[in-house]
Amino acid sequence: MENFNILSYNLGMKKFIITIFFAALSALCTTYAQEQTKTEEFDASSQEARVLYAQNEIDQALKVLQTKGEAYRSAEDWLLIGNILQDKDKLDEAIFMYKKAIEKDPKYYKAHYNLGYIYLAQEKPNMALDEFKKSVKYKDDFAYGYYNMGCAYLKLKQYRNARYNFFRAMDAKGDEPMIYYNLAYTFKKLNKEKQAQEYLDLYNKLMERQ
């Protein structure tokens, strides 16, 4: 057992209108109705893009989202565009899209997580940690945030911090085998062979059930 694993879990799918107030009430109502219709159309296109993405029609999903003006894109839209670009290995562009999602909603934990995931894969564990910490700040029972925070600490050789976060991940999602595998790895690095073997045995049992 020589390696730990980053958990491959891409969040998302697999990823006011300011009205001018007119003096006349009738004009206001007309403007609001027009804007409401436009918003409903954009919501429909977002849903269509999500369905296409779930069906692995990622190019079509991207085209649908590109028809929406940037001002009308939700944080979820930006996240999905980022997911598509990440699927295409266009990581710099994906990072940009995740940051746009965060601009739209600074507390959007999924965007923080996906941004951290790319940083971790790029061997930037400190930057990844910053994003994973935000993901669990805004969703404190988010197992994957704790898990990959543990992986980042492993890369930094901060094994006690890694152990703590793997336990937090286990509390939130006790049926994920890789949590146990990486706990075994962490205990091994801490020279605790007995605990390492215990968690490796638990990992093997969970894998047998899958």
Instruction: Count CB neighbours of 162 within 10 A.
Output: 25
Q: Is 20 within the bounds of a domain?
A: no
14 in a domain, yes or no? no
The C-alpha atoms of residue 176 and residue 169 are separated, in whole angstroms, by 9
Whole-number pLDDT of residue 43? 83
Hunting for tokens 């028809």 — which residue is that?
67
Angle between helices 75-87 and 91-104 (to 10 degrees): 170
pLDDT averaged per 10 residues, the chain (length 210): 51 35 33 40 83 95 92 94 96 97 97 96 97 97 96 97 97 95 96 97 93
Q: Identify the CATH number of the domain in which residue 34 sits.
A: 1.25.40.10
User: What pLDDT score does 11 carry?
Assistant: 55
Computed on alpha carbons and rounded to an integer, the radius of gyration of the chain in Å comes to 21
Residue 132 domain flag:
yes
Q: Report the alpha-carbon distance of residue 132 to residue 117 in Å, rounded.
A: 8
Q: Tell me the H-state helices in the chain.
A: 25-54, 58-66, 75-87, 91-104, 109-121, 125-138, 143-155, 159-172, 177-189, 193-209
The pTM score is 0.81
Sign of CA dihedral 42, 44, 46, 48: negative
pLDDT reported for residue 89: 96
Domain of 205, in residue numbers:
25-209
Q: Is residue 151 part of a domain?
A: yes
Distances (CA, A) of 203 to 55, 80, 175, 182, 207: 31, 32, 9, 9, 6
In a domain, 46, yes or no: yes
The answer to whether position 16 is within a domain reads: no
Total domains in the chain come to: 1
- Structural domain contains residue 109: yes
Residue 130 is assigned to a structural domain of this protein: yes
Q: How far is CA 175 from each of CA 135, 170, 172, rounded to the nearest angstrom?
A: 21, 8, 9
